[in-house]
Chains A and B, each alone.
Chain A
Amino acid sequence: MIHDFGIVWSERSLLLSGLANTAILSALSAIAALLLGFLVTPALMSKRPAIFGLARLFVDGMRCVPFLLFAYIIYYGLPSLGLRLDNWSSGLAALIIYNTAYMAEILRGAWAVQPREPIEAGIAFGFSELKLFRRIILPPLLLSAGPVIGNQMIQIVKDSAFLTIIALPELTHAASSIQSRHYIPFAAFITAVFLYWGLCLVIEAGISSIGRVAEARR
């Protein structure tokens, strides 16, 4: 068994590059999904039935599709419609689109419970448009939604493991190629589990520091 972990150690550069890819993939898609979420959220709160309906359909639709299936559709399904993406683009696109729905729903929930008066005060004090959003609306929104957004980021890290099926060289993919090369499934996969766990700890630390900042203001 020790011997098996020795083999994993000798393949550390492969594992680490898998870990780095998982981290990059997760961070990029979390940021992009959050930004796109901000665009979808106003549509979810729109009074116009057509806009609201479309946004609702997208969000509810996405949330009911298993991520693995969605990734299959992007990578294997789209080419039959004439759109062929490489595995990185497909993987990123799948993670981003899928999680935009979740982020939009999270932001909508947080937005709906924000008190109206401080925003009114912002307008009365001369804030408008982007500055109103950036200085007055956004900070309390992020503070209150922060922990839930953090949990979604953990979900993104875990979902990214599915992208091994489209041969994206992320952490799970690295672990399975080590195991198939050396026949050491336990050592290879348990190492990957610990690396995922480490990634989640980093995110957890971020969540709890947002939590502390928010707590002081509550």
Chain B
Amino acid sequence: MAETNKVLDVAGVSKRFGANEVLSDVSLQVDKGETVCVLGPSGSGKSTLLRCINWLERPDAGQIYLNGERVGINNAGIVMGDRDLSKIRTRIGMVFQHFALWPHLTVLQNLMEAPVQVQRRPKAEVRDEALALLAKVGLSEKCDAFPARLSGGQKQRVGVARALAMRPDLLLFDEPTSALDPELVGEVLVVMRELAHEGMTMVIVTHEMAFARDAATRVLFLDRGKAVETGSPEKFFSNPETERARQFIQRYAGDVAGGRR
């Protein structure tokens, strides 16, 4: 496995909550530099899949590898302790639907908190990098503001910069624009497109079909916990294999055809 440039390998992951089978035997491989968009109706298990990848949720079956290294289970075959898990988690950045910024810290402190406290990198270096990231997402002048003083779009750009500040191998996005007012969605998508161009490896759960169509290298369609289809966005949107996917696309057709943004 080490010789490939596979960053993420999700192999046959299943997860149930009580009697509710939320993921069944889902597999997904992501190469370095890929942008994979995960699509699917509400409740199909998209968030659960992301949360299994960094073990916020513990899968019932299957394996997850990050750069060839098993996530959640150590070499001895037992569940990792907090310390090992935390080391792996710092290599997986996550961007949340409701931003999940730390309210007691300024924007700059939000970016520096995990690199300094968890990764134990030198403060001065982290600070320089954080300032550069804030410039990149266009928020240099907000570095001393508290999250509560920002608009939704600004909060989410901070959310993206905070994830990047850990220098992750992989970025996970869970509906990063769903909580935003329509006029603020664009500014976040711009940042995500830029990352895709730069070759950041990303798995993005989204309902922004236009974005998925032109920014994704691949889409994964989840339905009732099953990975029903995966392939290039061109093929998925123009010629889906399954009836479920066809219905799903139809429902969002206006979004794609209209090229909303």
Contact = CB atoms under 8 A, between A and B. Distances in A.
B56 A124 contact: yes
A164 to B, nearest CB: 41
A127 B86 contact: yes
Given A118-B103, A217-B103, A217-B146, A126 B56 contact: no
A139 interface: yes
Contacts of A136: 102
Contact of B118 (A117, A118, A126, A139): A126
Contacts of B102: 118, 121-122, 136, 140
Interface in A81-118: 115, 117-118
A131 interface: yes
A97 to B, nearest CB: 31
Interface stretch (B22-30, B90-98, B237-245): B90-98
Contacts of A127: 86, 114, 117-118
A53 to B, nearest CB: 25
Interface string A129-158: 101000110011001000000000000000
A140 B100 CA distance: 13
B87 A126 contact: yes
B126 to A, nearest CB: 13
Interface residues of A, number: 22
Contact of A124 (B83, B94, B113, B147): B94
B104 A124 contact: no
A155 to B, nearest CB: 26
21 contacts: A115-B98, A115-B100, A120-B96, A120-B100, A121-B94, A121-B96, A121-B100, A122-B102, A123-B56, A123-B89, A124-B94, A125-B94, A125-B113, A125-B162, A128-B83, A131-B118, A140-B104, A143-B104, A216-B146, A217-B147, A218-B148
A128 B100 contact: no
A136 B147 CA distance: 14
Contacts of A143: 104
A128 B103 contact: no
B250 interface: no
Interface string B52-95: 00101000000000000000000000000011011101101010
- Smallest CB-CB A-B distances: 5 pairs: A117-B100, A121-B100, A128-B82, A126-B118, A126-B86
Interface residues of B, number: 29
Nearest to B92: A124
A120 B57 CA distance: 11
A72 B94 CA distance: 56
Interface of A: 115, 117-118, 120-129, 131, 135-136, 139-140, 143, 216-218
A131 B146 contact: no
A135 B104 CA distance: 10
Interface string B240-257: 000000000000000000
Interface in B122-136: none
B119 interface: yes
A128 to B, nearest CB: 4
Given A117-B96, A135-B113, A124 B103 contact: no
Contacts of A118: 100-103
A121 B119 CA distance: 15
B90 A126 contact: yes
Given A121-B100, A121-B101, A125-B162, 6 more contacts: A117-B98, A124-B54, A126-B87, A126-B166, A135-B117, A218-B148
Nearest to B106: A217
A115 B98 CA distance: 10
Contacts of B117: 127, 131, 135
Contacts of B94: 121, 124-125
Contacts of B86: 126-128
A126 B96 contact: no
